[in-house]
Structures are given as structure tokens and as C-alpha cells.
Copies of this chain bind each other. A is one copy, B any other.
Amino acid sequence: MFNYIIVGAGFAGSVMAERISNILDEKVLLIEKRDHIGGNCYDFYDNDGILIHKYGPHIFHTNLKKVWDYLSNFTEWTHYEHKVLGYVDGKKVPIPFNLNTLRQILPDNADLIEDKLIKTYGYNSKIPILELSKTNDKYLKFLSKVVFQKIFLNYTKKQWGRDPNDLDPSVTNRVPIITSKDNRYFQDKYQGLPKKGYISIFHKLLSNSRIHILLNTDFKELIKLKDKKIYVSGKHFKGKFIFTGSIDELFNYKFGNLPYRSLKFKFKKYNQEYYQDVGTINYPNSHDFTRITEYKHLTGQSNPKTVINIEYPQKYCINQNIPYYPIPKKEYNLIYKEYEHEAQSIDNLYLLGRLAEYKYYNMDEVIHRALKVFEEISSE
């Protein structure tokens, strides 16, 4: 009945469904465990009309013109450039650490350190904090210690539940020092939020009547792997199977569990116009939560009330909470490689997305991957 089955209705699965139905003119069965489309990008207007990201703040940013152009077919954009402040020593300072932050935290030596930074690394560079700590200059060494202690260490411990040394550089590089006065959190060329919410993008991606959306359904209820073949309701499936769920679950954890970091959110509503000055404030040292995001800054809505989102990183337990972040460590990548190898031996199985590829993709990267996988599939 279907030549294409997709598991997961986040960006990975939804972009694939859109391409297959609109370009190949083929029928798609899209299976989704939750009772809604959109994956972790799902947002909704609450009963005061405030647009809320159910699974934490999603700010779209990319340098990939192709991805921006593609997505712009499905939405208009609210112009927004994310600003983050970190609550450090009782002050709110720009994050990532930049030359403005330097002036607030080390005002006495700011001129000297700024000179040294620019001379050593160039203007407008991004220096990973673990990179900076390798310096021999005593001022830069001191700076690296301050940033490490005050901004990096405890935030990373809270966020990942482990010591920074115990993580792959690809994660820790996400907290750099920037040698400019650009207070924006992202420097990408294209930045914004979808005008009517991410959900409106997903409704449009999935609007082709050839896409059949099966909600509330664990793929395991329909799909079995046996002898390197895919079975759907007991029948050998010869179409293409695009899987965007957790790869270890697909193979019944035969090579072991892949660990993830999870999150818990507290949402609070206030009867006042704004709660804080910027979109997100990070709390590297105080409190159990990592950050507070106020959605109205992101979405540009005006409303007499406001909603904030407090993030508490959590241990991930299968079937109990949501796997948000793969944990990039060599040992886990080795487990992943075993699954990947197994997957390659199965005809017409395509792995795609954060969970299936065990990679900390941003939204734009996932969409980019989906467009590539679609090219592969359609040229076969």
C-alpha cells in the first residue's frame, strides 16, 4: 500500500515526507509516537495567546542558504537575533563571553587582555575555552581560568551531568570566547522564528494528502526487523523505510543503550509584560536550572502577560523521559558504529536525524541532511 514509511514527525521525518509526496508524487506513511507532529520543535498558543515552545526554546539560525530558502517556502519569519546573558557574580553579562563581557568581569585589565586576545587569535574569532587554557601568557591564562570557573565549568556539569574533560570537544566548543563586541548568541547570516510558530511549518510540510500521519503509535507495533528484512504488519516490506527514531531502539538495544541527556521544564506565567531583559539568561553557578527563557522576546508577541521556561537538565531513562541530546563521547560513538554497521546491511533502511544518527544536529543541519537523503533516494 505504501512505498515509503517514515518513523518520526520532527524536522527529519517531515521534510522527507514533504519531498517524497510533492516531488516524487508518492504515498507516505508517517508514524509518530506522540499525539502531535513537529517533534521537539512543537509549539502552541496557550490560552492567553502566548506562543510557547513545548520542548524548550528553538531559535532558527543557519548559514545554509539552501536550507533557509527551502524553509521559507513554508513560513514567513519574525526577525529575531538571540541574546543571552549569564548571571555571574551578581551581574548579568553577555554570553558567549566577548569583549563586552571582559569589560564587565575584569574591568581593571580589560584593555590589556583585549589587546592580547586580538593579537593572538585575531579580531572576531571564536576560541573554545579548552583551547584558550593552553596559552602560556599569564593574563590570558588568568582569563581562561576565570571564564572556565565562572561561566563554563558548572554550567557544563549541570547541562551534561559530567565533567567537561569527559566530553567530546564538539560539545565543549559550543561555549567559546569571542573576540568582538557582537552580543548576539548566534552569528549566522539567517536568523529568525517562524511567524505563526513552528507548528504552522509542520502543517504545511505535511499538507499533501498523500502523507498519511499515524499518531500515538510506537513504530514497533507495526514494524519488525527479522533476518535483515523489514516487516510491516507481518508482511515483508519492499519500499523505503526512513527511520528518525533512536537507533538502539530500532535494534532492540542489542549492542547496548546509547546514552542521552534529558531535560525537565517548568513553565511559569506572570501577570506582567516582561520577566527579564533578554530572551535567555544562563545561570552557570546559582540554582539547579541552567537557564530561563522568556518566549515573548523570541517571538516578538505583545501581550499583557508573559511566560518563562526554566530548564533542568536530567538523566535520561528509556520510556520515562525524552532523549534530547546525544552525548558525544568516543565510547558511545563506538556503540553507534556497531548499530550503523548493522543498519547498512538492511536494504532500503535510511537513518536520519539526531536520534537515528546519534549526532547533536541543530535544526538547520537536520533539514540539510534530510534534503541530502532525499536526493540519494530519488536518484536511486
Identify the A interface with B (CB < 8 A): 1, 35, 44-51, 195-197, 203, 206-207, 209, 211-218, 221-222, 233, 301, 303
Contacts and interface: CB of A to CB of B under 8 A. Distances in A.
A197 B49 CA distance: 12
Given A45-B47, A47-B196, A197-B47, A215 B216 contact: no
7 contacts: A47-B49, A47-B51, A47-B195, A47-B196, A213-B215, A214-B214, A215-B215
A252 to B, nearest CB: 19
A207 B48 contact: no
A224 to B, nearest CB: 12
A35 to B, nearest CB: 7
A48 B195 CA distance: 11
B212 A213 contact: no
Given A1-B233, A47-B51, A51-B47, A216 B209 contact: yes
B303 A49 contact: yes
Contacts of A233: 1, 233
A79 to B, nearest CB: 16
A216 B221 contact: no
B49 A48 contact: yes
Contact of A211 (B203, B216, B218): B216
Which residue, of A44, A211, A216, A222, has the highest number of chain B Cβ atoms within 10 A?
A216
Nearest to A222: B1
Given A35-B206, A48-B49, A212-B217, 5 more contacts: A35-B203, A35-B207, A49-B303, A213-B215, A213-B217
Contacts of A216: 206, 209, 211-213
Given A45-B46, A45-B47, A221 B212 contact: yes
A221 B1 CA distance: 9
A4 to B, nearest CB: 14
8 shortest A-B CB distances, which residue pairs?
Answer: A49-B49, A45-B45, A213-B215, A212-B217, A214-B214, A213-B216, A47-B196, A212-B216
A32 B147 CA distance: 55
Given A45-B45, A45-B49, A212 B212 contact: no
Most buried by B among A45, A195, A222: A45
A209 B216 CA distance: 6
Contacts of A213: 35, 213-217
A49 B45 CA distance: 6
A42 to B, nearest CB: 12
Contacts of A195: 47
Contacts of A206: 35, 216
A218 B210 CA distance: 10
Contacts of A209: 216, 218
A352 B212 CA distance: 24
Nearest to A218: B209
Nearest to A211: B216
A5 to B, nearest CB: 13
A120 to B, nearest CB: 48
A260 to B, nearest CB: 21
Nearest to A207: B35
